[in-house]
Structure 1
Amino acid sequence: MSYKPWPHIPAIDMTLRIAEPTAEMLYPAKLELTYGSFAGEYELLLVKKNDGQLGIGRNKYPLVEEPFGLGPWMMYLNGVLERQQTDTDEESLMLKRLWLDNFGIFMRGLYDNEFYTNTKVFLRDFLYREDMVLARVDDTPWMHPHTQRMIDTDTIYYGVYDPIKSEQKVLSLAIQDEERYDRDTVTIVHNGKMLADRLPLEQAMALASITLDSGENYLAFFADNYGDLPPNTANFIIGTAGDRGQQYGFDFSDPSNAYSTVMVARFQYLPKIPQSPVRSIPPTDDEPSDTTDSNALTPARKMPVHTKGRRNQRIGQLKVGTEQVILELRDEQVEDGDIISLEVNGAVIADGMEVSRQGRRFGVSLKRGRNRIVFRAENLGRIPPNTAVLLVYADGEQRKFHLSTDFERNNVLDIIFEQNR
């Protein structure tokens, strides 16, 4: 496209070169922008949202910027490119921005070098508010050695997270929102298939699992809007290998994703190869069983494992200003043999602990930001469901939370550690 509102000034020329896609979803691209003495080239990632739209990755990495840099102004292009087609079959891409009116970067950097102020003002206003329609010139894909690097992820973050290996076909999914009632909506696409289409977060939270395809899986999370309190603050938490596996967060609130319109999780599903069964031969009368321990007082107890189909149910969120907190688990009702396990940020703190009236305490060191505490029922006790009381001691205060878990749901508590709180 070429933008020239007045005949006496140079035109702003913009060219977008798009590479062949990976998984029919991820399109590496290069944006070229020229105006007078200014020339800029930027690598960015486009992600297919639906048949008519490409989401624009937040980070536009500058390959060339002369004689000054545009800094955060390139974020004015965040949004989607929407396919347009005329009656004469001419094809174009129209930019639909997610506005950044409240972001506070409108004037930043304008007067760093006053010699270029007029050029900067014109470029800034073009990026910020002018209509952008890119006409299709040809069908030749952009070819460059960097295209695969942009998908595989290296030191430059274009919006695709590092690959995660999973031996589990079904992953758990939990969605959180810092400001749940500000009307954030999201879209989720898995390997080109729509899982959620412009759902309000309170509805998207009902999603509990994702079933992977064999091999590479790309999960794209789109912010459809910035809600009433910009930006979109959805946090997608995916668990691998059942509830004993790792959990990974993909958070629009993270600084690297702030005001993003899309981020991509990459999972590699590598199913376990089943082992040939080994036939057990019972011992003869004069041959002792090698499973018997003469020093054992009681045989080892093997806990039943129930891991499939569980969802994470959040019981609350707590903000603290101290790195060290104490968690206390106890039974305030009848001791009925409830057994629970406790994980903090994916690490098992207590495995198969019986909940008693006396209670048990755990000292926990928090990391900065969000810490996820997961409580998992290992049985249902004599009186289902599995229940307990959690006391959290932090900042000289005590907070109480009630747990109720079973073989279909875990309880989750998020503790936000803010050091300067």
Structure 2
Amino acid sequence: MIKNIFLFIYCFLFYSLKILAQTDAFSGSWQMEYSTAAMASPIKLELQIGVSQRNILYPAHIKLECDSFFAEYDLLLAKKNSRELGISKNKFPRFQKPFGLKEGSFFLTGSFDLSKDLKGMPVLNFLRIDSKQPAAIPTIGVINDSARLTAKIKNFLKEEDISLKKITSIPWHSVNSDCILEPALSPTYFGLRDTIYLPTRDGIINFSGVKKRKNDRVSVTLNGQVVLEKIDIEKKNQQSDILLSPGLNILTFFADNFGNDLPNISRMNLEFGNKKFALDFANRKDSAATFIVVKLVCDPDKSKERYFVENTNPGEEKLLKKDEKLVGSIISGTKILTFAIWDEVIDDGDSVSIKINNEWLVRGCPVKKTPRFITVTLKPGPNTIVFLADNLGSIPPNTSVLEIIDGKRRKSYEMESNPGEKNLIKIFYETEPGLK
């Protein structure tokens, strides 16, 4: 009997220690208070970090309080290395009272660095992203109590040391936490792209940027492991081979600094077989962001089930006119398709017109946050979709997302264009396997 009791205690301690050893160092709640002699009340900041996806992506929540102001924001954190978590550009406001900070949350841009204080207790220190021209605090026209409080909070986020102490290791969880990790469900764009299905595990990555700007540095991680660290994109021959794991992979592109000017405008080009795409900090929605994340799946059989087959015709782009740009080319085994059109960034008054085989499909279609669905009928063989920007909206250029759906497979294209430019999508309708 006594032997069994000791065996039970031994097993209990063994598994308890094992669970504690597996506890994520980042997940849990972190808090701090900031005050000065001139402040009537302190600024209270709490960061809640949820259960990670593969120890790489962390849904998170911020509570910010000072005097009469109280707000809560959702955000995404991405692991840069064993100590650092990059902070998403967007912080979605769940609650703000009695006013909103608007662009003020942008100042919380950079990363959280894990270390220990003098007592050996874990702390997260906020590291602002390196920039020779830091963002200025927006001027406030009317001076009143709300304006003063807003300026005080923004100045705290922009200038002061932010160091958070861990108060609990219980991960944050709410009805919203899981949505942050799913682009289709998240309330805003957190830097996480839709999943891309690839035909091969072997790939090549290289970098490009505007030549007049120098000193922009970037890093790349794959499945939480550093692939390239703080490389200068202006140096020649910045190319690297990359090998994916079978199944799901998480690739993260980090902006290490804002170089000589804000923002970092580096572009990472990726090529896997006949599949080419890019992650670009010059895009409006990723401008001044700390990271861009994309999930990559290398499972050819699954890809055929869920993703349209790419259609490659060597030399096809040489036949295009000066004002035409080939965005993509796919093969469809379905005659009837659905087009979904929306703007995932902001509703700024953009409108578009679309032709199929030189006939108008829609004209002057407003691009809203809510998708508009259009039924499209293909003819056998090649079909040409022409996507035209009608205007520039209030924020140039004209931006939208066009997603092609056949009920099982889908393919989305991000469109950026100006009036007079034509974005082309080629769809080959294959009526019988092997027809092409």
Match of 1:266 in 2: 295
Number of residue pairs the alignment of both structures matches: 296
Residue identity in the other structure for 1:134: L
- Alpha-carbon distance in 1 for matches of 2:136, 2:121: 36
Q: 5, 14, 17: which one pairs with 2:48?
A: 17
What does residue range 21-36 of structure 1 map to in structure 2 within 5 Å? 21-36=52-67
**Partner of residue 169, structure 1:** 201
1:152 aligns with 2:134: no
For residues 360-399 of structure 1, the aligned pairs below 5 Å read none
Between structure 1 and structure 2, the one with the greater Rg is: 1
Q: For 1:202, give the aligned amino acid.
A: E
Aligned residue in 2 for 1:345: 327
Aligned to 2:245: 213
Q: CA deviation at 1:179?
A: 3.7
C-alpha offsets along residues 317-348 of structure 1, whole Å, 9 cap, x if unaligned? xxxxxx96179xxxxxxxxxxxxxxx933349
Q: CA deviation at 1:365?
A: 7.5
Give the corresponding residue for 2:144. 114
Please give the residue correspondences for 1:244-255 in structure 2 after superposition, counting only pairs within 5 Å.
245=275, 247-255=276-284
Equivalences for residues 76-115 of structure 1 within 5 A? 76-98=107-129, 102=133, 106-108=137-139, 110-111=140-141, 114-115=144-145
Kindly tell me: are residues 205 and 189 of structure 1, through their superposed partners in 2, closer, same or farther at Cα, counting changes over 3 Å?
farther
> Would the aligned equivalents of 2:132 and 2:261 in 1 still touch at CA under 8 Å?
no
Report the equivalent of 1:45: 76
State the superposition RMSD in angstroms: 3.2
Seen in structure 2, the aligned counterparts of structure 1 residues 226 and 146 have a Cα distance that, compared at 3 Å, is same
TM-score between both structures, scaled by the size of structure 2: 0.61
Q: Does 1:54 align with 2:117?
A: no
What is the CA-CA distance between 1:237 and the residue it aligns to?
2.2
User: Which secondary structure does the structure 1 equivalent of 2:167 belong to?
Assistant: coil
Structure 1: tracts of 5 or more residues without a match: 274-304, 308-322, 328-342, 349-363, 371-415
Deviates more, 1:145-154 or 1:200-209: 200-209
Tell me the alpha carbon deviations over residues 352-401 of structure 1, each in whole angstroms, 9 at most, x when there is no partner.
xxxxxxxxxxxx9797879xxxxxxxxxxxxxxxxxxxxxxxxxxxxxxx
| Whole-angstrom CA distance in 2 between matches of 1:183 and 1:77 | 22
Distance apart, 1:100 and its partner CA: 6.6
Separation in 2, partners of 1:29, 1:255: 24
Higher helix share: 2
* Aligned equivalents of 2:130, 2:148: Cα separation in 1: 23
The answer to whether 1:224 aligns with 2:256 is: yes
Q: What code does the residue aligned with 1:259 have?
A: A
Q: For residues 417 and 157 of structure 1, do their structure 2 counterparts lie closer, same or farther at Cα, with a shift above 3 Å needed?
A: closer
Aligned AA (1:271): P
Q: Which runs of 5+ in 2 are unaligned?
A: 1-31, 303-311, 315-319, 331-384, 390-396, 399-415, 422-436
Alignment partners' CA distance in 1, 2:83 and 2:133: 28
Tell me, yes or no, if structure 1 residue 70 matches structure 2 residue 67. Answer: no
Amino acid at match of 2:71: G
Separation in structure 2 between the aligned mates of residue 420 and residue 113 of structure 1, nearest angstrom:
45
Offset of residue 180 of structure 1: 5.8
3-state SS of paired residue (2:178) = helix
User: What's the counterpart of residue 5 of structure 1?
Assistant: 36
Amino acid in the other structure paired with 1:344: L
1:325 to 322, 326, 338: 322
Could you say if the C-alpha distance between residues 113 and 344 of structure 1 is closer, same or farther in structure 2, counting changes exceeding 3 Å?
A: same
Q: Deviations over 1:25-69 (max 9, x none)?
A: 001100100001100100011111011111111000000011111
Name the CA distance, whole Å, in 2 between partners of 1:69 and 1:112.
Answer: 15
Cα distance change on mapping 1:147 and 1:58 into 2, 3 Å: same
Alignment of 1:128-139 (within 5 A): 128-139=158-169
Identity %: 24
Tell whether the 8 Å contact from 2:271 to 2:277 is kept in structure 1 after alignment.
yes
The 1-side partners of 2:95 and 2:110 are apart by 23
The separation in 1 between residues aligned to 2:237 and 2:163, in whole angstroms, is 35
Q: Provide the C-alpha distance between the structure 2 equivalents of 1:101 and 1:180, rounded to a whole number of angstroms.
A: 16
Task: Please give the TM-score of this superposition, normalised by the length of structure 1.
Answer: 0.63
Paired AA for residue 325 in structure 1: K
DSSP 3-state at the match of 2:239: coil
- Shift of residue 236, structure 1, vs aligned partner: 1.6
Q: What's the CA shift for 1:264?
A: 0.4
CA contact 2:132–2:260 (8 Å) conserved in 1: no
Q: Structure 2 matches for 1:185-200, cutoff 5 A?
A: 185-200=217-232
Deviates more, 1:166-175 or 1:12-21: 166-175
Quick one: structure 1 residues 103 and 198, their matched pair in 2 at CA, closer, same or farther if it must change by over 3 Å? closer
> Residue 238 and residue 253 in structure 1: after superposition, are their counterparts in 2 closer, same or farther (change >3 A)?
same
Question: What is the deviation of 1:158?
Answer: 1.0
Structure 1: which amino acid aligns with 2:326?
V
Contact 2:248 2:295 in 1 (8 A): yes
1:238 Cα offset (Å): 2.2
Tell me how far apart the structure 1 counterparts of residues 206 and 113 of structure 2 sit (CA, whole Å). Answer: 29
